[in-house]
């Protein structure tokens, strides 16, 4: 019973991480859209100082996007490592779970 709870917690934690990453990506998209509006505005005014500020902002956003990608990569790797550890700790349960999921998917696809 304890292993089921730990699996559920691991799945919930992974789901929570995926949701957090989606929220981060949505924030980045919104920031990028705002930045693009600033770029369009700056190009219309033709002010050199504004262009420099926008360029600096673009560089900052690119760095943030790179950090978010690194974070996503790290979180994904951690999730895979946890899953591999769970499989190594409980190989029979893992095989049984995979078999059960495969049977359900096969049944659902066969019904179509």
> What confidence tens digit (pLDDT) does each residue in 21-55 have?
888 888 888 888 788 787 777 666 556 676 777 78
For residue 103, pLDDT beyond 90: yes
| Residue 83 pLDDT | 86
- What's the angle, vertex CA 86, arms to CA 80 and CA 90, rounded to 5? 150
Closest CA to 50 of 33, 29, 35: 35
Domain ranges, residue 82: 2-111
Q: List C-alpha distances in Å: 42 to 80, 88, 96.
A: 44, 56, 60
For residue 71, pLDDT beyond 80: yes
* Burial track 39-73 (b if 16+ CB lie within 10 A, e otherwise): beebeeeeeeebeeebeebeeeeeeeeeeeeeeee
Highest mean pLDDT among 1-15, 44-58, 69-83: 69-83
* Number of domains within the chain: 1
Give the confidence band of 69 by pLDDT, cuts at 50, 70, 90.
confident
Question: Alpha helices, DSSP H only, in the chain?
Answer: 2-45, 48-89, 91-111
Distance between CA atoms of residues 15 and 22, nearest Å: 10
């Amino acid at each position: 019973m304890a292993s089921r709870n730990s699996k559920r917690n691991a799945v919930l934690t992974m789901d929570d991480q995926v949701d957090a990453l989606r929220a981060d990506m949505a924030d980045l998209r919104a920031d990028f859209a705002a930045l693009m509006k600033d770029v369009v505005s700056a190009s219309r005014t033709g002010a050199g100082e504004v262009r420099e500020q926008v360029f600096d902002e673009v560089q900052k956003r690119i760095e943030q996007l790179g950090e978010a990608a690194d974070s996503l990569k790290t979180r994904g790797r951690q999730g895979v490592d946890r899953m591999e550890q769970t499989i190594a700790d409980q190989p029979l349960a893992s095989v049984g779970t995979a078999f059960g999921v495969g049977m359900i998917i096969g049944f659902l696809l066969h019904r179509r």
